[in-house]
Structure 1
């Protein structure tokens, strides 16, 4: 479920050209003259985020970063920098075309770079690219792979593993030759190796579906068979004749891809298939190499995603056994897309121990096991959630992690010993911290902010000492000195049913407490996500609303992460019920404030936020006067099975839950103004969702407004002009129905 396209009240825009803002007489600070103006100023408010494209090298004793057309290396011990690569003047082999790249990898000896170029997107996280190898010693660039879905250096840096057209290959630096390792993928049979299909990539974050063994001998890979997965059809209307696009995407109750795991000996080409003792429908969401290079760890999940098993496989023989099993009455998480947590299992080097992150206590914490599956100890404890493991040092038996211990609104950095002793907070500054730690845990880069402090970036050592401030964003401070800005304010309240909720608001610039202002509740609200943090608000779209007399509000509704499992998992099998109640309760709370116009409030969101916007309007009529739903799911039977069945179970087991969570069920409840926005090319939330809701509304004698953007993807916008137009349409919808403003500009007269 995509939260990324919906930023603040409107979508984040990138349009060229900066319009000089006009002056506010009251405080002599510049305000935005238009949404385009606000968008163009976005980079100035967002500021810089520190070194770009950080790669830790030499075991973590140094890191590289991009600066302009150069790749530089920095040594944290000395703070010295040196340049190692300049793209200017380099051309593609055998041509005069200037060389450009999107990303790169280092070889282990830091003597070669593997560049990824010419990316052509397929799904959200993946696509086809060309890969080039650059030798730093002789300064030569040569082709490693063309039209490949992925390429990765072997741990010793002597080979490059490649996946192309659903088959696996290996390229040797020594010979300059490529060897094909699998041959069973064709465009006709629906079988492919080494990359996730749509649903595995979207909901299990399996994009590159293969990895190297730590001793360079093997490549473990997923094989997918999508031949039984139903087609998800979209239509491109751009040409003379409509072009139908087909993607294999299973919706609720549909057949899933058949998946198995193979291990290839890259020298001999011998292949071993690893078969877990599972029956029925199940997923293989993760593979991990252990500290024993002959042992591969495989994670399986049943289709209901409430029974996780961890297998250890001997890759030479295929022998295996279950090391750990965890069951839950709701769901077992193996990652969290919203907090950028890809793993809940960790296998450090040099030890026969592993760590598993579980919410079995009611909060997510770290548990320590040996390779026999015996629990050694619980590492972290308390009525707070451990969010993310940032580093593990097996030499001094220390784990570094981010948690919500200080507050569910913050993300703070800690260290703790394996046995749970000697816990230390490494960041004294309140707020939201994002950590990039070196593999040897000697150093880390900390990006942090809070409601009153723009993003700061610090290079620190493992004791938490700041070695150097890499970015203080003076440019943002200078911008705020001359431009109108309303800071994020945090608040806490108790809903009518006793639920404690945290929220945030951005008040109008030149706020007058004696006046009453309309409210815009801008939300996402999906399970395991998060809405409100103690961090700097850099969304100029929200500032635009505030400067036009709106109070912009968000809230951490039930279902949100960082408040413990009882708060988060209460939504299980009943999506919509508690989230909509909390949003309506937020509106009722805001209406009690003397500066709020309680009769003029709106709710808006995209993706899951679009779903819950419509659902709240339909099930809590009269609370909000306006709803704007972008790319909404409207019935969970129309969404992909992995996401939906994780939170709703199957239709067979939860027919009443699916019925109650459907917007169509409640279509007759619409009393307020609803704007629906969708793309006909949305491969995440199919436009059938919006079309079926419109049919249900029509059959109930209800009216809604509709905006269709045919070529767009999820989020509807497909270029700067379309995204700006969507924001303008949404803003003027608020102006018309919240403020009663009928003197609106003609958007075609720009």
Structure 2
């Protein structure tokens, strides 16, 4: 490298003890990490009574509620004491939800997976007062109690239904055949790329259900099989590639009492998206978000659900793309409509950094709430009574996620989280209390219940699981360093050194990466990763990088990848590798890069466009040509193919097949509905035509990532490890 930075390490608060247990094999490493690395604290946490109480589940006590003000816990239901209706069989369930009335629970039981987020399940309603459990819907896509607790909304076989609990009667609200046209759930590409599974919502007053209607009959069909049996069956799924026809989408609002349906018709015509819909504090008004197909022109509509009348209250255009959620950071929404106020908030990067903007229902800007050269990561709570807003941001540094509060007018900003590192906040709807799950590289994950001022009321998980792991097992902690790229850009990266590290020795390096736009892999947080610890135990340095395209560094850093995926990600991995090559304890002749999904793409693209930097690569389920991936994700970052033909060609791995110098292992499943097997197959053809070869492992029954059971998980991990041993040791 022509320009390199000094290596700056943030040392953790503990050091590895030399007399701790080490793993006997890879299985031991993976399962020990799983046992100690499970999410601490209670599971299935739900705020009830507007945020004044907390509900959660424990294995020993079943469902409990907690009063944060007093610290008192109250048992609600022990699963072993409940039986399936009409049966002596002990009731079992996957998850539960509370009605707003606090008197009913809806249980999801017997779920059967469809796509990433969606299932078909059986739904049961439990009346806490009567102690009665009844079947509300069998084989349904979703079900949910009305806010007043009197009805259950149900999606079954492509139609919406409502079950009146008092009358014991079910009524059908929509009437489509469920094949090609359907209501209340998303098609494959909306679910996958806009991040939700349930495509309907109750109105706050329990009078209406607003829902998505899909017609996907013109969408091209993808088919796949796991090759089982003498005549394998093919599953067919409509999935549009870039430039393909999309499903047509409408929003309907139905009165559950009169069954009158009103269609909400935006002014857009032709091909556009409706990715989000929100009920406002006005019971007759729904806010609707539309995006053009290029996803760089957004409109926010207010619709009167009684008449269908509309008005545009906000419009935004961008030179790249506009985000309406972030899968990687757990952000479901960029718009927020608090109750009991005629104001809403929007998170936008229009200033070059993501910040919070305040609007009235008339569409007039009421001010900028936050500002600065840092990104707001997530709005966690809004309190209209005190005009206070709570949010997570990277103001303390891009490796930090800290909680702040601020007044609606942008005054009185205060940092509430005090511990350095990564804080994930689950705040009640009234912003009175919140759960803070936090850690840093030297502090195992803890969970604290806190009030709106940040005062700790109760510790729900004290980090003892992580502490017990550190007490018993040898551990290589994460260290952090910075790289200055050739063009002067600073990159944050992490390193896990080998057990019993000796600075006089030279070690092989494994880059374990993802790299996709809007992701963010390197944070100052505690992690027990069995795969990385196994590599460290066996003498590897494990590296990760927040490459360009990562979120949390402002729009210029994030959006430089627009219409040229692969270029800057691979550049930053190669720059980091060259920087490491100058360290006395790194063997630059023994470097590998690996990843899954976008990480697989990063692996292949880096090997082919920066030949000679890495000796080996392992790509699991890799994208190899963006013309073969789904349209919503791809066109967001690459534009439409007709307007960026050269960009698509340059971003395709096949374009550089003749450049392969190192060893490449490709892993794929024939049943991958996300990154289709065609990616790997077309890359193999291109490599063969260029006189190059690669190693291949196919696991037909697996999904995305190729894993389909415990044995395949261990086997695939083992194959990857032995590949590294073969070429780096």
What interval of TM-score do these two structures reach, taking the shorter chain for normalisation?
over 0.9
Structure 1 equivalent of residue 46 of structure 2? 55
**Match status 1:231 vs 2:221:** yes
SS in 1 for 2:80: coil
Structure 1 equivalent of residue 171 of structure 2? 179
Distance 1:28 1:220 in 2: 61
SS in 2 for 1:269: coil
Q: CA deviation at 1:185?
A: 2.8
Distance 1:206 1:487 in 2: 35
Structure 2 equivalent of residue 94 of structure 1? 86
User: Do the aligned residues in 1 keep the contact of 2:406 with 2:413 (CA within 8 Å)?
Assistant: yes
User: Do the aligned residues in 1 keep the contact of 2:34 with 2:530 (CA within 8 Å)?
Assistant: no
SS in 2 for 1:200: helix
Structure 2 equivalent of residue 46 of structure 1? 37
SS in 1 for 2:429: coil
**Match status 1:33 vs 2:24:** yes
Structure 2 equivalent of residue 477 of structure 1? 467
SS in 2 for 1:30: coil
Structure 1 equivalent of residue 137 of structure 2? 145
Distance 2:266 2:465 in 1: 55
Structure 2 equivalent of residue 650 of structure 1? 640
Pick from 402, 418, 430: which aligns with 2:408? 418
SS in 2 for 1:236: coil
SS in 2 for 1:652: helix
Structure 2 equivalent of residue 7 of structure 1? none
Q: CA deviation at 1:244?
A: 1.1
Structure 2 stretches of 5 or more lacking a match?
A: 1-15
**Which runs of structure 2 are paired with 1:385-396 in the superposition (5 Å)?**
385-396=375-386
User: Do the aligned residues in 2 keep the contact of 1:291 with 1:350 (CA within 8 Å)?
Assistant: yes
Please identify runs of 4+ aligned residues in structure 1 that moved more than 3 A: none
Q: CA deviation at 1:722?
A: 0.3
**Which runs of structure 2 are paired with 1:412-451 in the superposition (5 Å)?**
412-451=402-441
SS in 2 for 1:316: coil
Distance 1:685 1:89 in 2: 44
Structure 2 equivalent of residue 22 of structure 1? none
Structure 1 equivalent of residue 12 of structure 2? none
Pick from 399, 407, 426: which aligns with 1:409? 399
Structure 1 stretches of 5 or more lacking a match?
A: 1-24, 740-750
Pick from 254, 277, 298: which aligns with 1:264? 254
Distance 1:89 1:347 in 2: 40
Pick from 359, 367, 374: which aligns with 2:364? 374
Which is further off, 42-51 or 606-615?
42-51
**Match status 1:215 vs 2:200:** no
Q: CA deviation at 1:221?
A: 0.5
Pick from 55, 75, 83: which aligns with 1:83? 75
Q: CA deviation at 1:26?
A: 8.7
Pick from 246, 257, 276: which aligns with 1:286? 276
User: Do the aligned residues in 2 keep the contact of 1:489 with 1:504 (CA within 8 Å)?
Assistant: yes
Q: CA deviation at 1:205?
A: 1.6
SS in 1 for 2:420: coil
Question: Alpha-carbon deviations, 1:469-526, whole Å to 9, x = none?
Answer: 1111223212212211010001112012211000000000110011000000000000
Question: Alpha-carbon deviations, 1:534-553, whole Å to 9, x = none?
Answer: 00121011000000000000
**Match status 1:549 vs 2:539:** yes
**Match status 1:68 vs 2:55:** no
Aligned pair in 2 of structure 1 residues 467, 26: CA closer, same or farther (>3 Å)?
closer
Distance 1:195 1:47 in 2: 31
Question: Alpha-carbon deviations, 1:655-692, whole Å to 9, x = none?
Answer: 00000000000000000000000000000000000000
Q: CA deviation at 1:90?
A: 2.0
Question: Alpha-carbon deviations, 1:324-379, whole Å to 9, x = none?
Answer: 00000000111111111110001111111111110000000000011111111000
Question: Alpha-carbon deviations, 1:98-148, whole Å to 9, x = none?
Answer: 210011111223221111100011110001111111111221111111111
Q: CA deviation at 1:47?
A: 4.8
SS in 2 for 1:355: strand
Pick from 573, 576, 597: which aligns with 2:563? 573
SS in 1 for 2:21: strand
Structure 1 equivalent of residue 125 of structure 2? 133
User: Do the aligned residues in 2 keep the contact of 1:167 with 1:192 (CA within 8 Å)?
Assistant: yes
Question: Alpha-carbon deviations, 1:237-287, whole Å to 9, x = none?
Answer: 111111111000001110000000111000000001111000231000001
Pick from 149, 152, 161: which aligns with 1:157? 149
How many residue pairs are counted as aligned between the two chains?
A: 713
User: Do the aligned residues in 2 keep the contact of 1:158 with 1:174 (CA within 8 Å)?
Assistant: yes
Structure 1 equivalent of residue 484 of structure 2? 494
User: Do the aligned residues in 1 keep the contact of 2:357 with 2:369 (CA within 8 Å)?
Assistant: yes
SS in 2 for 1:624: coil
Q: What TM-score, normalized by structure 2, do the two folds share?
A: 0.97
Structure 1 equivalent of residue 708 of structure 2? 718
Q: CA deviation at 1:436?
A: 0.5
Structure 2 equivalent of residue 540 of structure 1? 530
Q: What TM-score, normalized by structure 1, do the two folds share?
A: 0.94
Which is further off, 671-680 or 279-288?
279-288
Distance 2:38 2:642 in 1: 50
User: Do the aligned residues in 1 keep the contact of 2:143 with 2:153 (CA within 8 Å)?
Assistant: yes
Distance 1:47 1:84 in 2: 25
**Match status 1:109 vs 2:96:** no
